[in-house]
Amino acid sequence: MRTGEGSDTEDEIERIQAQRLKQNEKREENTSEEVKPAEVDPFSVDTEDEEDVMLRKVEKVNHELPKFFEHHVLYIDKDLPKDDIKQIEKYIHAYKGVLVEDLSDIVDIILADRNKDSFSLNEACPEAKIIDYNWIWECHNQQKLVPLDNFTIQC
């Protein structure tokens, strides 16, 4: 008869379910056990994650840097090499300058390449001084605001 086979299958299912239940109970017992204080060395426990440590290092470095760009609003000519633009942006932010994406009447220094025509920059913002972008490297190297005289681009 087939009913005998069906009850064997049901018995097998119940046996497997009971096994799984026991396994789950054992797992719960293992995970719910408390760690004994003697097993944990308080000096070996890491209490800070790497991001917190890096953030504090960056903040410390920023507090130690001079703020020689802090009263300047700068614009970087988009024709400069992309790698240089990224580095210049970092220096401007690090030394507390204000960097704008678009030319406007608040810009007082435009960073450009001495070897390229900067007439259009002068037209767009006639009150700003157009300075060779190497001025940024010089300020960084000397850790001070270097006079603009040797870096001014005449239009």
Task: State which fold the 66-151 domain adopts.
Answer: Rossmann fold (3.40.50)
* pTM as predicted: 0.59
pLDDT, residue 32, reads 53
pLDDT, residue 135, reads 97
Q: Is 109 exposed, middle or buried (0-12, 13-18, 19+ CB in 10 A)?
A: buried
pLDDT, residue 103, reads 93
CA distance 74 to 111: 7
The CA–CA distances, whole Å, from 102 to 75, 106, 111, 125 equal 7, 10, 13, 10
pLDDT, residue 3, reads 47
pLDDT, residue 60, reads 61
Could you read off the pLDDT tens digit of each residue along the chain, which spans 155 residues?
A: 444 555 677 777 777 777 777 776 766 666 555 545 456 565 665 555 676 666 666 666 556 789 999 999 999 999 999 999 999 999 999 999 999 999 999 999 999 999 998 889 988 899 999 999 999 999 999 999 999 999 999 87
Amino acid at residue number 130: I
pLDDT, residue 1, reads 42
